[in-house]
């Protein structure tokens, strides 16, 4: 395995040597809600093939993938007759990697649909059984009955155009790290333009090239090289998520980095920011104090700690005023106005009682 020069980029912005690719396109999309059956779509039906029809749910942008493009997609699949859902990559949290022109036979119809979609597009595909699981169906996994027409809800996350149609699994370590680094660089450019959703998708694609299965096989220099790309992607994802006010997701991204590097200042700082926004001030202060330990001169950390101190002071003053009203000295009770009629009646009864007692004693 040939050696690759390891870059030492400043902070988490990445190196300056951009790795060139044939072409790429990608956008970010939220997973749709899981339903009991395929979504109802009222858009125009587009005939892509005698056995493949498409209805757009959400428009995409850019070009469509060509033959041998490596596509990344999420999809759900139902048998048309029974509405039985037999596959769901959103639920599995694992997008499918599909090379147009090199797909499995049972995915011919899906590939035709994907090749007619743009990045970020979400669509409903109606596929005849001839381009699906065929006359025999599948009795293993997934379980699809014979001659079953299929309905797909598909989102094309993004794709890479390459002449040879090389999938991630066929790439060398250097190629995968290089492809991930290019994605990171593209994400940084989009982040600077405040195109946060698109930047996040670039970072996600970079992380996909450096998945857990791949990282598990690396050690020594190559693992360090991969982490030098992967960790900044998670950190930049966190920065995007904070701007988008998705604080829990930002905390999760920082946590991934801190598993590898528990003293990472950027991860501690950004997790502290997200926690502070969620009102978790004690946890946020803990993160900022730990970050300051390793970056004592950092002005941003000092500023966040000052903001927490001011927040705590304001909360204390507010509580003090509240408790003062609740537990302050009780005012003296006002004397009640006396009812003289009742007093006269009580006096008269007292006199009768005394006379009665005197006469009884006299009789005794």
Range of weakest confidence among 28-37, 218-227, 233-242, 347-356: 28-37
Which residue, of 269, 285, 311, is where some domain finishes?
311
In contact, 123 and 154? CB cutoff 8 Å? yes
CATH number of the domain enclosing 86: 3.10.50.40
Average pLDDT over residues 111-131: 95
Please check the confidence at residue 77 and state whether its pLDDT lies above 50.
yes
Residue 363, domain member (yes or no): no
98 vs 21, 137, 170, 191, CA distance in Å?
18, 21, 13, 28
Q: Which of 168, 188, 209 is the last residue of a domain?
A: 168
pTM for the full model? Answer: 0.59
pLDDT at 302: 93
Whole-number pLDDT of residue 137: 92
Within-domain flag for 215: yes
Closest CA to 24 of 53, 58, 66, 83: 66
pLDDT class of 22 with cuts at 50, 70, 90: very low
Mean pLDDT for the stretch of residues 2-16: 37
Q: Do 270 and 154 share a domain, yes or no?
A: no
Percent of the chain predicted with pLDDT > 90: 50
Closest CA to 239 of 222, 254, 224: 254
| 318 occurs within a structural domain | no
Listed range (6-15, 98-107, 154-163, 201-210) with the worst mean pLDDT: 6-15
CATH number of 231's domain: 1.25.40.10
The parent domain of residue 301 ranges over 169-311
DSSP, collapsed to helix, strand or coil, labels residue 187 as helix
- Mean of per-residue pLDDT scores for the chain: 82
Query: Which range has the worst mean pLDDT, 10-19, 93-102, 129-138, 285-294?
Result: 10-19
**pLDDT category, 234, cuts 50, 70, 90?**
very high
- Distance (Å, rounded) from C-alpha 97 to C-alpha 179? 15
Q: What is the pLDDT of residues 160-172, one digit of tens each?
A: 876 555 667 778 8
Residues 302 and 184 in one domain: yes
C-alpha 228/C-alpha 213 separation (Å) is 17
Segment holding 296, helix H or strand E:
none
């Amino acid at each position: 395995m040939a050696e690759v020069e390891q870059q030492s980029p400043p902070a988490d912005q990445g190196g300056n040597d951009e790795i060139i690719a044939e072409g790429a396109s990608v956008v970010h999309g939220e997973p749709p809600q899981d339903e009991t059956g395929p979504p109802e779509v009222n858009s125009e039906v587009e005939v892509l093939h005698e056995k493949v029809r498409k209805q757009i749910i959400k428009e995409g942008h850019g070009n469509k993938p060509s033959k041998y493009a490596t596509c990344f997609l999420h999809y759900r699949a139902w048998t048309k007759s029974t509405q039985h859902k037999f596959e769901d990559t959103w639920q599995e949290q694992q997008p499918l990697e599909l090379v147009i022109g090199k797909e499995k036979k049972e995915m011919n119809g899906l590939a035709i649909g994907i090749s007619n979609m743009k990045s970020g597009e979400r669509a409903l595909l109606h596929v005849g059984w001839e381009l699906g699981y065929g006359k025999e169906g599948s009795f293993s996994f997934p379980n699809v009955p014979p001659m079953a027409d299929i309905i797909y809800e598909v989102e094309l996350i993004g794709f890479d155009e390459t002449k040879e149609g090389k999938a991630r699994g066929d790439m060398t370590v250097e190629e995968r790290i290089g492809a991930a680094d290019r994605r990171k660089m593209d994400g940084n450019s989009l982040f600077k333009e405040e195109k946060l959703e698109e930047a996040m998708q670039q970072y996600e694609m970079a992380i996909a090239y450096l998945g857990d299965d791949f990282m598990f096989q690396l050690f020594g220099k190559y693992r360090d090289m991969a982490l030098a790309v992967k960790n900044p992607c998670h950190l930049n994802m966190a920065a995007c998520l904070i701007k988008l006010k998705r604080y829990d997701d930002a905390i999760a991204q920082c946590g991934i980095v801190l598993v590898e590097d528990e003293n990472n200042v950027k991860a501690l700082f950004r997790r502290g920011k997200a926690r502070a926004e969620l009102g978790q001030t004690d946890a946020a202060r803990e993160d900022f104090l730990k970050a300051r330990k390793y970056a004592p001169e950092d002005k941003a950390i000092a500023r966040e700690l000052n903001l927490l101190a001011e927040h705590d002071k304001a909360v204390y003053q507010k509580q003090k005023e509240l408790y003062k009203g609740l537990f302050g000295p009780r005012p003296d009770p006002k004397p009640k106005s006396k009812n003289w009629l009742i007093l006269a009646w009580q006096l008269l009864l007292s006199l009768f009682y005394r006379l009665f007692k005197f006469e009884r004693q006299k009789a005794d």
